[in-house]
Amino acid sequence: METISIVDSKKYVDKKVKIGVWLTNKRSSGKIAFLQLRDGTAYFQGVVVKSDVSEETFALAKEVKQEESMYVIGTIHEDARSHFGYEIEIEDIEPVGASKDYPISPKDHGTDFLMDHRHLWLRSKRQFAIIKIRSELIRATYAFFHKEGFVKFDAPILTGSAPEGTTELFHTEYFDKDAYLSQSGQLYEEAGAMAYGKVFSFGPTFRAEKSKTRRHLIEFWMIEPEMAFTHQEESLEIQEKYIAYLVQSVLDNCQYELKLLGRDPKVLQRYTKLPYPRISYDEAIELLQKSGDFPDVKWGKDFGSPEETYLAEHFNKPVFVLNYPKAIKPFYMKPHPTRKDVVICADLLAPEGYGEIIGGSERATDVAYLEKQIEKAGLDKADYQWYLDLRRYGSVPHSGFGLGLERAVTWITGEEHIREAIPFPRLLNRIYP
Q: Count CB-CB contacts under 10 A for residue 255.
A: 12
Q: Tell me how far, at minimum, the Cβ of 230 lies from ligand 4AD, in Å.
A: 12
Taking contact as CB under 6 A, which single stretch among the options 4-12, 100-108, 147-155, 394-402 is the one that binds ligand 4AD?
Answer: 394-402
H or E element: which one contains 269? helix 265-270
According to CB under 5 A, which residues from 338 to 397 bind Mg ion? 359
Q: Tell me how far, at minimum, the Cβ of 388 lies from Mg ion, in Å.
A: 23
Q: What are the start-end ranges of the E strands in 129-192?
A: 151-152, 158-159, 171-174, 177-181
398 binds ligand 4AD (CB under 6 A): no
Which CB sits closer to ligand 4AD, 76 or 345?
A: 345
184 binds ligand 4AD (CB under 6 A): yes
Which CB sits closer to ligand 4AD, 23 or 344?
A: 344
Residue 34 CA to residue 82 CA, distance in Å, equals 13
Q: Tell me how far, at minimum, the Cβ of 330 lies from ligand 4AD, in Å.
A: 7
Select from 67, 68, 87, 164 the one that contacts ligand 4AD (CB under 6 A). 164
Contact criterion met (CB below 8 Å) for 260 and 128: yes
Per DSSP bridges, beta strands 2-3 and 16-28 are parallel
413 binds ligand 4AD (CB under 6 A): no
163 binds Mg ion (CB under 5 A): no
Q: Tell me how far, at minimum, the Cβ of 141 lies from ligand 4AD, in Å.
A: 14
Residue 99 CA to residue 69 CA, distance in Å, equals 8
Q: Tell me how far, at minimum, the Cβ of 262 lies from ligand 4AD, in Å.
A: 24
Half-sphere exposure (Cβ direction) of 251: Cα atoms closer than 13 Å: 15
Q: Tell me how far, at minimum, the Cβ of 209 lies from Mg ion, in Å.
A: 12
Taking contact as CB under 6 A, which single stretch among the options 7-15, 277-285, 302-310, 352-360 is the one that binds ligand 4AD?
Answer: 352-360
Select from 224, 240, 362, 415 the one that contacts ligand 4AD (CB under 6 A). 224
User: Strand, helix or coil at 256?
Assistant: helix
Which CB sits closer to ligand 4AD, 46 or 330?
A: 330
Residues in the chain: 433
Nearest to 187, CA basis, from 149, 221, 226, 219: 226
140 binds ligand 4AD (CB under 6 A): no
Contact criterion met (CB below 8 Å) for 413 and 421: yes
240 is in the binding site of which of ligand 4AD, Mg ion, none (Cβ under 5 to 8 A by kind)?
none
Per DSSP bridges, beta strands 177-181 and 345-350 are unpaired
Angle 405-413/125-147 helices, nearest 10 degrees? 120
Q: Tell me how far, at minimum, the Cβ of 352 lies from ligand 4AD, in Å.
A: 15
Residue 215 DSSP one-character state: T
Q: Give the torsion sign (CA, 248, 251, 254, 260).
A: positive
Q: Tell me how far, at minimum, the Cβ of 124 lies from ligand 4AD, in Å.
A: 23
What would the x/- binding string for ligand 4AD be over residues 199 to 218, using CB under 6 A?
Answer: --------x-x------xx-
Please give the C-alpha separations between residue 182 and each of 107, 225, 267, 345, 433, in angstroms, as whole numbers.
40, 16, 35, 21, 22
Reduce the secondary structure of 278-334 to three states and give it as a string.
Answer: EEEHHHHHHHHHHHCCCCCCCCCCCCCHHHHHHHHHHHCCCEEEECCEHHHCCCCEC
Taking contact as CB under 6 A, which single stretch among the options 1-9, 15-23, 303-311, 358-366 is the one that binds ligand 4AD?
Answer: 358-366
Contact criterion met (CB below 8 Å) for 365 and 344: no
Contact criterion met (CB below 8 Å) for 62 and 53: no
46 binds Mg ion (CB under 5 A): no
Select from 186, 230, 309, 373 the one that contacts ligand 4AD (CB under 6 A). 186
Nearest to 362, CA basis, from 379, 392, 337: 337
Select from 401, 413, 415, 420 the one that contacts ligand 4AD (CB under 6 A). 401
Residue 427 CA to residue 418 CA, distance in Å, equals 10
355 is in the binding site of which of Mg ion, ligand 4AD, none (Cβ under 5 to 8 A by kind)?
none
Residue 322 CA to residue 336 CA, distance in Å, equals 11
333 binds ligand 4AD (CB under 6 A): no
217 is in the binding site of which of Mg ion, ligand 4AD, none (Cβ under 5 to 8 A by kind)?
ligand 4AD
Q: Which residue is nearest to Mg ion (CB)?
A: 359
Q: Which residues bind ligand 4AD (CB under 6 A)?
A: 163-164, 184, 186, 207, 209, 216-217, 220, 222, 224, 356-360, 400-402, 404, 406-407
